[in-house]
Structure formats: C-alpha cells, structure tokens
Structure 1
Amino acid sequence: MNITQNSIDDLNAVLTVTIEKDDYKEKVEKALNNYRKNATIKGFRKGQVPMSFVKKQFEKSIIFDEVNQLLQTAINDHIQKEKISILGNPLPKAQDDMDWDADTLNFEFELGLAPDFKVDLSKIKADTYSIEVTDEEVQKYIDNFAKRFGTMKTLEKVEEGANVKVLMKELDAEKNEVEGSEKESYLFVDELAKPKKFIGKKVGDVIVVKSKEISEDAVNLEQILNWDAEKAADFDGQLQFEILEITAMEPSAVDQSLFDKVYGEGAVSSEEEFRQKIKDEAEKMYSRETDKQMMNEVVEELIKETKFDLPTDFLSRWLHFSNEKIESVEDAAEQLKKEENGLRYQLIESKVAEAYDLKVEFADVEAAMRNIIKEQLAMYGQSNMPEEDLERIVQGSLQNQQEFQRMADQVFADKMMQTFKENAKLKEKKVTFDAFVKLMEEKQKNHQHDHDHDHDHAHDHAH
C-alpha cells in the first residue's frame, strides 16, 4: 500500500492511496472460509458450501469492506504522522468504473486544509465594564434580607405590604353569589391594580370590586386569584371579598442575628462588614455579566481582524456529501455562510490556545468542581460540611462523564477569558448596573441593524 499527497494550493490537497491485492488478500480468504464454515444456505449442508458459490455471493462485498478499512486506517495514520490540520473529513473522489478484480486499486481523496495564520491579541481593542454597586443598591439588598428573614405579625387594618386572607365569592349581574364560587384566598396588597379599595379595611369588612380593580392583566389575574387562563381572560363580573385575616412581614433588625442567617455564623461581625460583603457579592455577580460582554466583544473583534481564507468550495461539497438533509452543493454553500463565523472562531480559538499554551489538566477540573460544589452547598446553608463528605461529592461528580466534560469546557473558557483580559487592549469603563443594561440593549439594537443592513446588501447583490 502506498499513499501520496499532492498540494493543489495552500488550502486544498489530494491524497492518492494505492492498495495492492496482497494488502487484503489474506483477510479476504479468511473471511470467505468463515462464511463457508458457518453459512446456512438452502440446498447445502452446513460447512459444505462450495467455495466458488461463497466467492460468487460474498467476495465483492468482503473486498469492499476490507479495502474501506485499509483506506480509513491509512488516511488517519497519514494525517496524524504528517501533522496535517484538516477541515471536515477527507472527501472521496467519485469513481464509477472501479474494477474490484484488478491487482492494484487507486483511490483519490480531497482534503480541505486549515489555513495558516497568526493571532495577535495585542491588536484587539474592546470595551469592558466595571459595575459600581451604589449605597442605595446595597440598602435594597439589606431591606430584602430583612424582609426575607423577618417574622409574621397580625395587623388591625390593611396597609401597604399587607397580606390579606379573604373569603372570595363571584357575583352575577344582580349581585347574587354565583353558586359554588366561594373559596378562601390570599391577596398581596402591593400586587393589586386598585389597592386603595382595601387599604384601611379591617377583619370582617366586605369589599365588592370589578376584576380589573384586582388586575387589568389577565395573566396576573390568573395568578392572583388562582384561576385558569380562560376564566381570567373572559370574566367581567364582580367579586366580593370578606376579610378574614390581615398579616404583614415584620422586617428583621439589622443585627448579628441577620448577618448569621444570611452569610453563616460568625462570617460577618458588623453592619459595615455586612454592607461590604453585600457590595462584593453583588459586584462578583455583575462581573459574570461584564465578562460575558467582554468575551463577546473580543470574539467579534478577533473574527473581524484576523484575516485568512477558507477552502469554501471544498467545505460546501463536503457538507453536501456528509449531510443527507442538504439537497445540493448550493444549499450547502448557503449553510456554510451562516456557520462561517463559528468555524472561523473555532480556528482562532485553537491558535490562541496553542500560542498561549492553554491546557486543561485533571487537577484544574477537580479544583473547579470543588469550588462550584462549595458555592452550591453554601447557598443551602451547608458551608461547614466535613471535608471527607465534600470530597465524596466532588469525586462522584468527576466520575460522571457529562459533568466532567461540562466542567472541563468551563475551565477552558475561563482560561481563554483570562488570556483575553491579560493580552487584549481592554478599555475599562465604570458604570451603574442600569447604565450597563441600557448600553447592552443599545449594542444589541445596533448589531441587529448592521446584520439586517448586511442582509439587504447580500440580497441586492444576489439580484
């Protein structure tokens, strides 16, 4: 067997594989003998089928299978040995007149070669944001924590923030109770469209309102009154509520007891530390969003600034050949256009990983898994789990192939992001969270406009 490679240009090559009969003769004979021994064919006793009959029936398909196996092994070995970076898979050239009885068989395969290019992160410019958490935002967090860990108290009359237990009845046009409609329910005053109808009322008071005074939105009405969607959308009668009980959440005092409930015993020992921890946690949470934005911008710039050609003709033909759902090479070319940026980034990402020696070791995945499990346990108030129990959970998660791969991908993404942070030219801007959200919405709008504009140009060009 012999294999040679001829370059057509920098992005395309042809592999010629020559296979001699001696390369597969022995395996074919062995397979034929096995068929002869084991074949159950009408008119012949088992093991007594004439070899001429077995050859006539099976030899061509056995040769075909053995040759295909040889081809796959030879091509894969050649690509690995020569360290050829290819796109897609080798594409066999059509050969309609193959003589399978010949002593020498020749096969040709087209290769799409990965382009050779360099990535210079120092030339990539992008904006990144640092979200400042204001004292007002910290206070909102504190108020929410105080409410969440507060105690329920009974009120004499309805006020803002009250939770009202009611006996609800539906009324007909004559204001008579609709039979079977009576049920106990809870109304949260701050959710109501017309809370003033309830504020100031006491236990035993009866209030009659239209459904729109509870909520003008059918979906909200459905949730507030626990109705089905159809009833919430169609109901236009009146509702009667008799107040049974009025309660409200008494916020917790901002003291050591609250600090311990939120962050675990002894983790925070003063209001100043509590505020700082809330600020740090919020900024950490926001940093995930700003990191995502930074990655998107850097990736977009990398795709735009890193110039290289792709073997698009080859890839279109390979896509058509390998995907039976794609009906023509023209359709494949269209599909390739849609996926081109993704392919370009895959190639760029590989170059960055190679240039900056980004590797994911088992120890990296193990450490990341341990950290994330610790965070999850802390969320459920189990921050003091014994080390051996924690280790058991970590090792169990690492045994799960899917979990391991997901974490390995995350570790690689984090390493890539850190590489961008350290090497790209990032211009940091300090903003509030609201300003950041507004900026992102604006960028998204402009991005969509540019995309539509490009599409219009492509459409004009096509005509």
Structure 2
Amino acid sequence: MNITQNSIDNLNAVLTVTIEKDDYKEKVEKALNNYRKNAAIKGFRKGQVPMSFVKKQFEKSIIFDEVNQLLQTGINEYIQKEKISILGNPLPKFNENMDWDADQLEFEFELGLAPDFKVDLSKVKADTYKVNVTDEEVQKYVDNFAKRFGSMKTLEKVEEGANVKVTMKELDADKKEIEGTEKDLFLFVDELSKPKKFIGKKVGDVVVVKAKEINEDAVTLEQILSWDAGKVAGFEGQLQFEIKEITAMEASPVDQSLFDKVYGEGSVADEAEFRNKIKTEAEKMYDRETDKQMMNEVVEALIKDTKFDLPTDFLNRWLHQTNDKVESLEQAAEEVKKMEDSLRYQLIEAKVAETYDLKVEFADVEEATRNIIKEQLAMYGQANIPEEDLERIVQGSLQNQQEFQRLADQVFATKMMETFKSNVKLNEKSVTFDEFVKLMEEKQKAHSHDHDHNH
C-alpha cells in the first residue's frame, strides 16, 4: 500500500492511496476457504461446495471489506505519523468505474486541514472582578447561622415570629361546630393575613376567624390548613382555634458553641476569626462566579481577535455526507455556520494548550479526585478518614472511564483558567455582589441585543 499527499491550498489536501492485490490476496483466500468449510448452501453437502461457486457468491464483498479495512488503518496511521491536523474525517471521492479485479486499486480522499495560526495571550485584554463581602453581608450570615442553630423556647403570649399549636374546628354559617372537623395544626404568626387576631393571646384562649384572615392567598391557605382547592373555594363558615402551645425559635448566642457547630470543633477561636472565615468563604464562593465571567470574556475576545480561515466548503460537504439529518448542502452550510464559534474555540484551546504546554497527567486527575472526595467527606462530617480508606475511594472513582474523563476535563479547564490568569492582561475591578450581578445582567442584555442585530 502506498499513500501520497497533495496539497490543494493551506486548508485542503488530497490523499491518494494505492493498494496492490498482494496487500489483500491472502486474507481474501483465507476468508473464502472459511466460507467453503462452513457455508450451508442448498444442494451441497457441508464443506463440499465448489470453490468457483463460493468465489462467484462472496469474493467481491470480501475484497470490498478487506480493502476498506486496509484503507481505514492505513490512512489513520499515515495521518498520525505525518502529524497532520485535520477537521472532520477524510472524505472518499467516489469512483463509479472502479475495476475491483485490477491488480492495483487507487482511491482518493479529501482532507480538511486545521488552519495554522498563533495565539499570544499577553495581547488579550479582559475585565475581571473582585467581589468584596461587606460587613452587612457578614452580619446576615451570622444572623442566619444563629437562627439555624438556635433553640425553641416557650412563650407566655403570642407575639410576632411565634409558632402557635392550635386545635381547629370548622363552624357553619350559624357558628355551630361541624362534626368530625377537629384537627391539630401549627400556625406561623408571620404568615397570617390578620396576625392581630392572635397576638397577645395565651394558652387556652379561643380565636374565631374567617378562612381569609388566616391567609388571603388560596394556595398558601391550602397548605396551612391541608385542604384541597375545592374546599378552600367553597368554604363559607368560620374557623375556631384553641391555643395549645406557643413557641418561638430563639437565636443561638454568638459564642464558641456556635463557632464549633458551624465550622467544626476548635477550628475558630473567637468572633473576629468567625466573621473573617465567613467573609473568606463567601468571597471564595463569589470567586467561582467571577472566574466564570473572566473565562467567558477571554474566550469571547479570543474568538473575535484570533483570525484564521476554515476549510468551510470541505466541512459543508463532510457534514452533508456523514449526517443523515442534513438533507442538502445548504442545510449543511447553515449547521457549519452555527458550529463555527465552538469549532474555532476548540482550535484556539488546542493551540493555547500547545503554546503554553498544558498537559493533563494521570497524577493531576488523581490529585483532583482526592481533593473533591475529601471535600465531600468533610461536608458529611468525616474529615478525619484513614488514609487507606481515602485511597480506596479515590482509586475506585478513577476506574470508572466516564468519571475519569469528566475529572480530566475539569483539571484541563482549571489549568486553562490559571493560564489565562497568569498571561492575559486582566483589568481587576472591585465591586459588591449586587453590583456584580447588575453588571452581568447588563452584559447579558447587550449580548442578546448584538445577537439580534447579527441575525
């Protein structure tokens, strides 16, 4: 077998593959003998079919299969050996007058070549944001933690924020009790439409109200009373509540026991450290958002400013021939246009990886897996798992091919981000989280506006 490459231009080439009869003769003969031995053909005893008959029936299709196999492996090996970067797959040029009996078979394949270009990240400019967590925000977190880890206390009287345990009875239009309607419920005072009817009442007091006074919103009322929509809509009577118990959630004091509950025993020494840790954790959470935004900006700038041509005609033909859903060249051209940005970015990403020597080694994926699993275990309160147990879980995760690929992609994305951070000219702006959200919404609007213009 012989393969030669002819360049048409920078983006297109043709491979000519010549296959000699000797390249496949032996394999074809072997396959024919197998057929002869095993073929069950009417009128012949097994293994007694004349070779001429077998040849006539099967030789052509066997040659076709063997040649195809040779072409596939030969072309793949050639492309790898010659380090040719191609887009799509080699496209066979059809030859209707192929003489399959000839001593020499010749095939041509079109190639769409990846463009040659350079990427210099130091020429790219992008905005990046640092979200500052204000003292007010830290206070909100502190209040939430105090509430979450608070305790129940019993109250003398109903006040705002109280939970009231009641026994409810339904009354008809004459304020008479409807038999069999008694049930116990909890009412949260702040949800009531008319909280004043309850505020100041004590255990043993009775309150009579219309259903609407519990809550004017029908859906909320259904939930509070555990009624269905039909009952809520049709209920004409009143509701009588006897107060059984009054409680409220009392916020935990901001002290060592709260710090221990939130961050684990002994990891925070005093309130200043507690507030600082809240601030750091919140900023870390926001960093993920700002990193995402920075990535998007850099990617957009790279797609816009990195100029290169694509073998578009080839890609249109390739998509048309290889995708059953694409019925015409026009449709293929539209699809390629839709894919163009992501195709350009794939090429740019590969070029960045090559230029800045970004490789994902097995050890990187192993390390990332270990960190993720440690984090997950810490969330379930198992921070001090023995080393060998941790290793067992890590190696188990890495055995799963899909999971491994997902983690490798994640490691690559992180390395790409670090490369952007160290090489792109980033203009960092300090903002509050609300300002950041507003900025992102404006960018989103501008973006969709641009898209509308471009269509």
Per the TM alignment, residue 311 of structure 1 is displaced from its structure 2 partner at its CA by 0.9
Please, which moves more after superposition, 193-202 or 117-126? Answer: 193-202
What's 1:459 paired with?
Answer: none
Whole-angstrom CA distance in 2 between matches of 1:62 and 1:261? 73
For 2:389 and 2:30, locate their aligned partners in 1 and report how far apart those are by CA, in whole Å.
56
Deviation at 1:365, TM superposition (A): 1.2
* Change beyond 3 A, Cα 1:188–1:371: farther
**Aligned pair in 2 of structure 1 residues 10, 260: CA closer, same or farther (>3 Å)?**
same
Q: CA–CA distance in 2 between the matches of 1:4 and 1:287? A: 52
Match of 2:306 in 1: 306
Shift of 1:306: 0.6
Q: In the alignment, which residue of structure 1 is the partner of 2:188?
A: 188
Structure 2: which amino acid aligns with 1:206?
A: V
- State the Cα RMSD in Å: 2.3
- C-alpha distance in 1, partners of 2:39/2:346? 50
Alignment of 1:20-419 (within 5 A): 20-168=20-168, 183-192=183-192, 194-204=194-204, 205-211=206-212, 214=215, 216=217, 218=219, 220-221=220-221, 223-226=223-226, 240=239, 242=241, 243-419=243-419
Post-superposition CA distance 1:58-90 (Å, at most 9, x none): 111111100100000111011011100000101
Give the 3 Å change call, closer, same or farther, for CA 326–231 of structure 1 in structure 2. farther
Point out the more displaced range, 364-373 or 183-192. 183-192
Letter in structure 2 aligned against 1:260: D
| Range that drifts further, 264-273 or 153-162 | 153-162
User: How has the CA–CA distance of structure 1 residues 304 and 223 changed in structure 2, closer, same or farther, with 3 Å as cutoff?
Assistant: farther
Query: In 2 relative to 1, CA 408–98 (structure 1 residues): closer, same or farther, beyond 3 Å?
Result: same
Q: Is the 8 A contact 2:172 2:238 kept in 1?
A: no
Shift of 1:95: 2.1
Deviation at residue 252 of structure 1 after TM alignment: 1.1
Deviations, residues 100-153 of structure 1 (Å, cap 9, x unaligned): 222221111111100101111111111111011111111111111111111111
Q: Aligned partners of 2:191 and 2:331: how far apart in 1?
A: 53
Secondary structure at the counterpart of residue 363 of structure 1:
helix
Deviation at 1:227, TM superposition (A): 5.5
Q: CA deviation at 1:178?
A: 7.2
Change (3 A) 1:233 1:417: farther
Does the 8 Å CA contact 1:3/1:18 hold for their aligned counterparts?
A: yes
Distance in 1 of aligned mates of 2:173 and 2:11 = 80
SS at match of 1:30: helix
Q: Relative to 1, partners in 2 of residues 1:168 and 1:82: Cα closer, same or farther, differing over 3 Å?
A: farther
Q: 1:70 to 1:144 in 2, by over 3 A?
A: same
Q: Using the TM superposition, give the Cα deviation of residue 287 of structure 1 relative to its aligned residue in structure 2, in angstroms.
A: 0.5
| 2:308 alignment partner AA | F
What secondary structure, in the 3-state scheme, does the structure 1 residue paired with 2:307 have?
coil
Give the Cα separation in 1 of the matches to 2:23 and 2:7.
26
Using a 3 Å threshold, how does the CA distance of structure 1 residues 429 and 238 change in structure 2: closer, same or farther? farther
Q: Give secondary structure in 2 for the equivalent of 1:187.
A: strand
Alignment partners' CA distance in 1, 2:58 and 2:12? 37
Change (3 A) 1:318 1:192: farther
8 Å CA contact retained: 2:170, 2:240: no
- Aligned-pair CA distance for 1:261: 0.8
Tell me if the contact between 2:170 and 2:177 (Cα under 8 Å) persists in the aligned partners: yes
Structure 1 residues 351 and 235: alpha-carbon distance in aligned structure 2, compared to 1, 3 A threshold? farther
The CA distance in 2 between the partners of 1:438 and 1:408, in whole Å, is 34
8 Å Cα contact 1:39-1:46 kept in structure 2: yes
Offset, 1:377:
1.7
Per-residue CA distance 1:294-334 (angstroms, 9 max, x = gap): 11111111101111111111111111111111111211111
| Kept in 1: contact 2:138–2:279 (CA 8 A) | yes
Q: In the alignment, is the contact (CA less than 8 A) between 2:192 and 2:213 conserved in 1? A: no
Structure 2: how far apart are the matches of 1:171 and 1:310?
A: 78
Cα shift at 1:401? 2.0
- Deviation, structure 1 residue 232: 9.1
Shift in alpha-carbon separation, 1:223–1:376, aligned structure 2, 3 A: farther
**Matched residues, number:** 453
Percent identity (aligned): 79
Pairwise CA distance, 1:166: 3.8
Query: Which residue number corresponds to residue 460 of structure 1?
Result: none
Contact 1:208 1:240 in 2 (8 A): yes
Q: Contact conserved, 1:40 with 1:46, CA < 8 A, in 2?
A: yes
* Change in CA separation of 1:31 and 1:182 when aligned onto 2, cut-off 3 Å: farther
Corresponding residue of 1:458:
none
**Cα deviation digits, residues 207-260 of structure 1 (max 9, x gap):** 424448525373x555555566x6599667666362443322111111111111
- SS state of the match for residue 164, structure 1? strand
For 1:258, the aligned partner's letter is: L
Q: Per-residue deviation at 1:96?
A: 2.2
CA contact (8 A) 2:208 2:240 kept: yes
Give the Cα–Cα distance (whole angstroms) in 2 for the partners of residues 335 and 247 of structure 1: 63
Q: Residue type matched to 2:268 in 1?
A: V
Tell whether the 8 Å contact from 1:264 to 1:383 is kept in structure 2 after alignment: no
Post-superposition Cα deviations, 1:411-459, rounded to whole Å, max 9, x if no partner, equal 110110011011111111111111111111111111111111111xxxx
